[in-house]
Chain A
């Protein structure tokens, strides 16, 4: 593996990737915990390591508007936020994706107010999951670095041309250093071609961006937007194949299956807590308990068939929900209904029982003991072949 090994936290890793991607326009506004990204980027610009316009926006809404205009003009852009900053910018998400502007927004998750809570919960950006953005989480600083390059390549591909939420858990990934291999500039150039927008705002080739339509013209446009996300799904394997070849990594496309052999129970998980889950799984194995893990690499596009196929081999699947969707079906988080929908059309014999674990809310750590508890509930359900309880709130249940 070519490159230089560094010890970096997730946000510092993304800043390194942005430097290598030769980003042109950055827009910033401070909010914990993502702020560290902009601290690093502004230093790189001040040092002359990165030639970019660094715009101090007056808020997250303006941050997104600035990169919208910059991306529409043909510049590669980066912005970011956390928590209520993510929700403050909400208006601009659909205009950016509908305008086919492949902006990259780095999210270090934070719990939404009230009350003020710096801890990581995925509810902030999951609220924007339907806005036409590529969306996925990194589990480690290395994956955060890699996703930055992968998302630019995917989002800027003219078959897709969509913005990306490049997410990592606040603190667990954003602030805890890990080993990151920084590749050589030539490798990045081989993987990521210069950004070229099909129809930029350019007086030499004038186009109008975003005129009004009549409602009878709406369905076609909305279908086109849906197709872009299908295109993204289709080309993800091609892009990861290139990435793995050039950088010597082993990423799966949409989901990563960990310890799938001989297990009849599985956790379905997203983000940083997959790290602790892996340790729990290793410890359980020593005790003769086989627990598998299915980690999501992309939330949008959602890989229905691949998720159904991966989960169909288990008797019971537990969805770990580090998000809230108050009043949602079964009172779980947002992933449970999506997983259920993915499994619904499987033959009954192949359809696992589905339960949910509300865990890590408000940014609380999910401990090894919590994963052992989940494994026990999954195993009990598998033995009973019958659901006892649909949703467990970790820390509030009787053993």
Chain B
């Protein structure tokens, strides 16, 4: 792999983060948009020497309109199906061009910003292919737990019991969505032996998110960061409460931040005492219809997820 790489420093606090923005005003995302905030932080952490690949999703449609893109760095649209495959090609091109003397600059940070559909569902094949082949890229799944761009349809990341426009509650199906979400980070890590770094992060913890992005980019090879990005429109809560929601997800165990760095697993921001999931569910319109038994079912699922989130043996590959 190319040696023309630049190492990104650890960011010790929010005030030490770079002032320079690479994701700038000029887009049409909703007030309180979690994915837009994640984009801003990831672009800031990655810096100028970066190429973004944007598979179709909210962060394509709401960010771009003709001759107007909110990035100071190169960005390329990809199909919702193939973001990680396009990134694989960009990486292969830079490997070849630098080796053959056809490009004189540094090897770029190549980052796919895929939604949960573009990574866990229709884009999963491309994602798995790129991780298996160990391209020197970072794939970010900005997870707002639905196909939000098309009007909030169910995705594999939609929580059990959430109402979406394809899983409405009704007398026959009172709990709305009846399936449990995929564990995408585990799927990527345990299914792809070449991957050295994966992490779960959240917009509620911006410094941690930026440092995870930098760690991932500093690895030579494929890495994956899964970011929980609250969505006021899809989850039905007030736009001013996105950060509060993000933190509440962590405090109730509905989202667990961690990283696996070359086999070493580290849990982040896990509280000593978990709050009941009901505190997270009751502030979101998408869970309004839930019965007490549905809430209990979700609580049991979350309890077992928290219990199994323990360190794993180091990987030797």
* Binary flags per residue of B42-64, CB closer than 8 Å to A gives 1, else 0: 00000011110100000011001
**A225 proximity list for chain B (CB < 8 A):** none
A207→B81 contact, CB < 8 A: no
Chief secondary structure at chain B's binding surface? mixed
CA distance A92 to B125 in the complex (A): 15
Contact check: which of A75, A206, A214 meets B93 at CB < 8 Å?
A75
Q: Which residues of B contact A289 (CB under 8 A)?
A: none
Residues of B within 8 A of A24 (CB): 93, 96-97, 100, 102
Stretch at the interface among A47-55, A296-304, A369-377: A47-55
Given the contacts A65-B78, A208-B69, A210-B77, A73 and B64 also touching, CB distance less than 8 Å: no
A interface residues, tally (CB under 8 Å): 43
B123-139 residues with Cβ-Cβ distance < 8 A to A are 125-126, 128-129, 132-133
Whether, in the assembled complex, B82 has its beta carbon less than 8 Å from a beta carbon of chain A, the answer is yes
A73, B105: Cβ atoms under 8 Å? Answer: no
Chain A 196-209 interface 0/1 with B at a Cβ cutoff of 8 Å (1 = within): 00000111101111
Task: Decide if A95 is an interface residue (CB 8 Å cutoff).
Answer: yes
Complex CA gap A349/B43 in Å reads 68
Q: Contact: B105 with A25, CB < 8 Å?
A: no
Could you tell me if A202 and B74 are in contact, using CB atoms closer than 8 angstroms?
Answer: yes
Q: Given contacts A24-B96, A75-B92, is CB(A69)–CB(B86) below 8 Å? A: yes
Shortest B66–chain A CB gap in Å is: 4
A204 cross-chain contacts in B, Cβ below 8 A: 105
* B92 close to A72 (CB less than 8 A): no
Nearest opposing residue in chain B for A202, CB measure: B74
Question: Is the beta-carbon distance between B85 and A57 smaller than 8 angstroms?
Answer: yes
Q: A59 within 8 Å of B by Cβ?
A: yes
Q: Does A67 interact with chain B (Cβ within 8 Å)?
A: yes
What is the chain A residue whose CB lies nearest that of B71?
Answer: A208
Task: Decide if A70 touches B89 in the complex (CB within 8 Å).
Answer: yes
Residues in A with CB closer than 8 Å to B72 are 206
Assess whether B237 is interfacial by the CB under 8 Å rule: no
In the bound complex, CA of A72 to CA of B108 (Å): 14
B87-120 interface (Cβ within 8 A of A) = 87-97, 99-100, 102-103, 105-106, 108
Does B51 lie within 8 Å of A75, measured CB to CB? no
User: A65 is contacted by which of B65, B71, B91, B126 (Cβ under 8 Å)?
Assistant: B126
Give chain B nearest CB distance to A176 CB in angstroms.
33
In the bound complex, do residue A91 and residue B89 qualify as a contact, i.e. CB atoms below 8 Å apart? no
Q: A56-B133, A68-B78, A208-B64 are in contact. List 5 more A-B contacts (CB 8 A).
A: A57-B85, A58-B132, A62-B126, A74-B102, A203-B48
Q: List 21 interface pairs A-B (beta carbons < 8 Å), by A numbering.
A: A51-B99, A53-B93, A59-B125, A62-B126, A62-B129, A65-B79, A66-B86, A66-B92, A67-B89, A72-B90, A73-B90, A75-B97, A95-B77, A194-B102, A202-B103, A203-B106, A204-B105, A206-B75, A210-B64, A211-B68, A211-B77
